[in-house]
Chain A
Amino acid sequence: MNEGLRKAMENDPKVLIMGEDVGKLGGVFRVTDGLQKDFGEARVIDTPLAESGIVGTAIGLALRGYRPVCEIQFDGFVFPAFNQITTQLAKMRMRSLGTLELPVVIRIPCGGGIGAVEHHSESPEAYFTHTGGLRVVACSNPSDAYTMIQQAIECPDPVIFFEPKRRYWDKAPVDRDLSKAVPFDRAVVARPGEDVTVLAYGPMVKTSLEAAQADENHSIEVVDVRSLNPLDEETILESVRRTGRCVVVHEAPVFNGYGAELAARITEKCFYHLEAPVLRVGGFSTPYPPSRLEDHYLPDLDRVLDAVDRTFAW
């Protein structure tokens, strides 16, 4: 993430970083570490503590050609900015008949699994995928973090950029050649397989890959959705048509979650290829529980494999 942001700032002097504690501290997750030192306080801005103000002023800056990258400190604190994001950021292009463009990126560390107190483990993606005018993406690994953040910053549309916070510490080789990178609105097959497609994004990609690895009975294909809106149906539908089975996995509550859109769409478009209904694995319809209970809340390998088994029991 840090390298990707640095590259974007080097490539375009209009790129600004704004947020709480992003400067001297380098962010509470150190994602912007060292950037203020190297690019100065005018480009890496510790803002007053107000998310609505961060996004609102980013909109104003973008109207004059800047490309603000806003950091929301934790998922649960995006809500004071919800009004600015959904009523303003999302709609400006259409309201102005395309004359006003808002290339604003909003980075949100998301999801649970780090033992945090309440409001630090939320998965609010469905609120944003429900809002026309926003692009919503989620990275799942270091390489995508590096490339997708740069692609998001280059994008002329507003982008909500989810970063699975429990994966911040993951290590993996990063391909720095951006020209070879998959466009950030495309899904990728993270692991090829033949019997069943597991669709996941953000933190659940790793869990799904581990499940695929562990399953000795079925050959599981894992597709990393990456872009929730727009959706790369081509990659996803092709996979499901081939395997005939599909399980959707996310941390957010299943009820009315993003997986409902995937399941409905796949059912509509691959009905005659399906051997079983599309099954969903995700959180419960409760507020996120206290952290000592979160392992019971979060989907894990067993829940993914259980759903996979159920698609074969149909």
Chain B
Amino acid sequence: MANRQHGGGPEELLPAERPVRFLTDTGAAVRGRSRYPLPSPELLRRAYRAMVVGRRFDAQATALTKQGRLAVYPSSHGQEACQVGAVLALQDGDWFFPTYRESMALVTRGIEPTEVLALLRGDAHCGYDPHRHHVAPQCTPLATQTVHAAGLAYAERRKGSGRIALACVGDGATSEGDFHEALNFAAVFKAPVIFLVQNNQYAISVPLDRQTAAPSLAHKGVGYGIRSERVDGNDPVAVLAVLTAAAEHARSGHGPFLIEAHTYRLESHTNADDATRYRTDAEAEEWRRRDPIARLEAYLRRRGHLTDEDTAEAATAAEDFAARLRTAMNADPELAPLGMFDHVYDVPTPQLDEQRASLRSELEAEEALA
């Protein structure tokens, strides 16, 4: 017997035969009509600018690791369309659940870059106020955040708030049990949540074909009763079109939506990794040709939506952004060691108080010696 939760047959849930595309590799419009409406020129212009700034931010953060100003940085160079698209598809009240890879998305959301990078500098586990930005702390244990997003979205549905959640997750992390539980719970609870899988082809060194035997990662949603789609993740127009439709789907009470975006991590996993051990330059070159910024720029220029002035303005904004970040990261904030005892509980336990006192006297003794 068909499940009453889900009205139609599995074909309604299935992703397209091929990843959704609006642009060719060189930024020409692909022929034919899409089932997804074309995003507005204003939205695309915003995306262009945010990608230019985001890429510059990302390059600056990588440079900061080389100068020892940042302990580690997982770059999202190459994934700009997804990083920016995920944020631009959301409203201010919606919630975003990022992983360690999403620093670019977080600055796009308007979080101060120094607050974003506090985690990777080793100053804090989360440098920003989640409530202020409606952004959960960046998540490291893979896929754990997907279940939280399902729960939060379910809460929004119960409250009738009209808000949605979006969780980012990597291709590798789709193998974790939590990812599957998240899809199932979200579907059963009809939670208004988007799962955005950035399939950047690798989980550190492990390529997708060692991760899954499924026809695509998007197909994984179907078994849970989730509307699923795959998209060219380096085509910013397609990414925004599908994400906008997914947000609409979730917001209007149709439950979760799973998107697999095909993209590529152009840098190593982090600055501590060495991608030459497991992949070729030729492969990366292939993906460089599908550069999301170049494609959108070509498309917008051809349509008269982007001028030399616009690109120059974006470039200047990006340089300013990077310069401000450099200056800000040159200052080493003094960290209060005793701060590690704060916020462990609502009220510290007697044992924590005792431990704090012992560290305090250690610090005082050190100071007396100095």
Contacts and interface: CB of A to CB of B under 8 A. Distances in A.
Partners in one complex: yes
Interface of A: 20-21, 23-26, 28, 46-50, 52-53, 76-77, 79-80, 115-120, 255, 284-287, 289-293, 296-297, 302-303
Contacts of A291: 71, 122
Contact of B203 (A24, A49, A53): A49
Contacts of A285: 344, 349, 351-352, 355
Nearest to B72: A117
A20 B359 contact: no
A24 B352 contact: no
Interface stretch (B170-178, B186-194, B226-234): B170-178
B142 to A, nearest CB: 7
Interface string B326-358: 000000000101011100100001011001000
A5 B221 CA distance: 40
A37 to B, nearest CB: 11
B140 A119 contact: yes
A48 B248 CA distance: 33
Interface string B273-309: 1000110000000000000000000000000000000
A20 B170 CA distance: 15
Nearest to B336: A293
Contacts of A293: 122, 335, 337, 339-340
B251 interface: no
B210 A46 contact: yes
B359 A296 contact: yes
B125 A118 contact: yes
Contact of A46 (B141, B205, B277, B340): B205
B277 A49 contact: no
A292 B122 contact: yes
Contact of B177 (A52, A115, A119, A292): A52
A116 B71 CA distance: 7
B72 A48 contact: no
Contacts of A52: 177
A290 B344 contact: no
Interface string B56-91: 000000000000000110000000000000000000
Interface of B: 71-72, 100, 118-125, 140-142, 172-173, 175-178, 203-206, 210-212, 272-273, 277-278, 335, 337, 339-341, 344, 349, 351-352, 355, 359, 362-363
A69 B42 CA distance: 55
Contacts of A292: 121-123, 335
Nearest to A33: B277
B205 A79 contact: no
Q: Which 7 A-B pairs have the closest CB atoms?
A: A291-B122, A25-B205, A48-B175, A49-B172, A289-B340, A296-B337, A292-B122
A287 B341 CA distance: 9
A55 to B, nearest CB: 12
Contacts, number: 116
A25 B176 contact: no
A120 B210 CA distance: 24
A46 B206 contact: yes
A95 to B, nearest CB: 23
B206 A116 contact: no
A296 B122 CA distance: 13
B140 A25 contact: no
B175 A50 contact: yes
Residue from the set A52, A76, A284 with the largest chain B CB neighbour count within 10 Å: A284
B278 A24 contact: yes
Residue from the set B120, B141, B173, B212 with the largest chain A CB neighbour count within 10 Å: B141
A20 B211 CA distance: 10
A119 B351 CA distance: 23
A119 B204 contact: no
Contacts of A79: 141
A313 B192 CA distance: 63
Contact of A286 (B122, B173, B205, B340): B340
Given A46-B206, A50-B176, 4 more contacts: A49-B142, A49-B203, A286-B344, A287-B344
Contacts of A255: 351
B140 A117 contact: yes
7 contacts: A23-B206, A77-B141, A80-B177, A285-B344, A286-B344, A293-B122, A293-B337
A49 B140 contact: no
Contact of B176 (A26, A49, A116, A287): A49
A268 to B, nearest CB: 23
B206 A115 contact: no
Contact of B278 (A25, A76, A303): A25
A297 B340 CA distance: 9
A50 B340 contact: no
Nearest to B203: A49
B211 A49 contact: yes
Nearest to A292: B122
Contacts of A47: 210
Contact of A21 (B177, B206, B272, B351): B206
A21 B204 contact: yes
Contacts of B272: 28
A264 to B, nearest CB: 17
B64 to A, nearest CB: 14
Nearest to B124: A290
B75 to A, nearest CB: 15
A117 to B, nearest CB: 6
Nearest to B120: A117
Contacts of A303: 362
A297 B177 CA distance: 32
B340 A21 contact: no
Nearest to B338: A296
Residue from the set A47, A77, A117 with the largest chain B CB neighbour count within 10 Å: A117
A190 to B, nearest CB: 26
Contacts of A117: 71-72, 100, 119-120, 122, 125, 140
